[in-house]
Structures are given as C-alpha cells and as structure tokens.
Structure 1
Amino acid sequence: MSVAKVIEVISKSKISFEDAIKQGVSRASETVNEVTGAWVKDQSLEVSNGKITSYNVLLKITFVLKASSKGKSK
C-alpha cells in the first residue's frame, strides 16, 4: 500500500512558464523524496512597462510518503 501527499509550490522564471515549472519541480525534488507528479494549478504574469518580467506558476506536487514502521513486527 502507498499513501501520497500533495503540497503547493510557487515558482517564478524570467524565461517562460515551462522554465518556471521545471524549476519548481526540480527544487521540490531537492527537499521532498519520492516526487511522482505535478499539476499546474495556476499561471500568471508580472508585467512592467508593457513587458513581461516574470512567468509565475502555482504547482501541486505529489509525493509518496515513506512506509511507517508502526505495526511491523521485529
């Protein structure tokens, strides 16, 4: 049996939405083990003087929780 958890991560890039997604997943994978998927919940832009300055994404990152040793016999 496996149990998964979902966390939200906000990521920004000056390059593109795709780059923001890659950065968000990569960074989450550095601190959370067993990342199995991601869902882009929202996208937005920051604009200054009529030009895009930042591509922002809100990601839902899914990861599998470690098996508990509770209830296992030794």
Structure 2
Amino acid sequence: MPYPDNIAYTAHAVQQMDQRGIAKNVVEKALANGEVIEEYGTDEEARYLVHWNEEIQQYTRHIHVVAAD
C-alpha cells in the first residue's frame, strides 16, 4: 500500500480531482484511513483501489483512489 507521505500525482489525477472538487488532503486521508477494496498485480508495480467515506455536514461522499507502489 502506498504511503500518504510520499505521493506523486499524475496530471490526469490532478485534473480529475479539480473537476470533482477533491483536495489533496482528502486523497491523503483516503490513503491513510481507507479500505483497499481491490488489488491488481502488474509486472511493474502493485495497484490498489481504495475506498473511503468523507463525512461532509449532513451527507457522505464516497471517495475512490487508485494508487500504485
């Protein structure tokens, strides 16, 4: 699992985060506290799909982060 203190964002990720109003600190919280719901092994690196619920006032926003080692 990638460590939240060593994150490199792709240009695509930053663009998607901007469009969806997701700040980098939300991604960091998801990586630190979320649940790995899927793991993919590739020849080059491991990839993970992480799910985390962000509580915002009266609703819950579901955050999914794709991360790699």
Q: Could you say which TM-score interval applies, normalised by the shorter chain?
A: 0.3 to 0.5
Is the helix fraction higher in 1 or 2? 2
Relative to the length of structure 1, the TM-score reads 0.37
Larger radius of gyration: 1
Is the strand fraction higher in 1 or 2? 1
Which has the higher relative contact order, 1 or 2, with Cα contacts under 8 A spaced 6 or more apart?
1
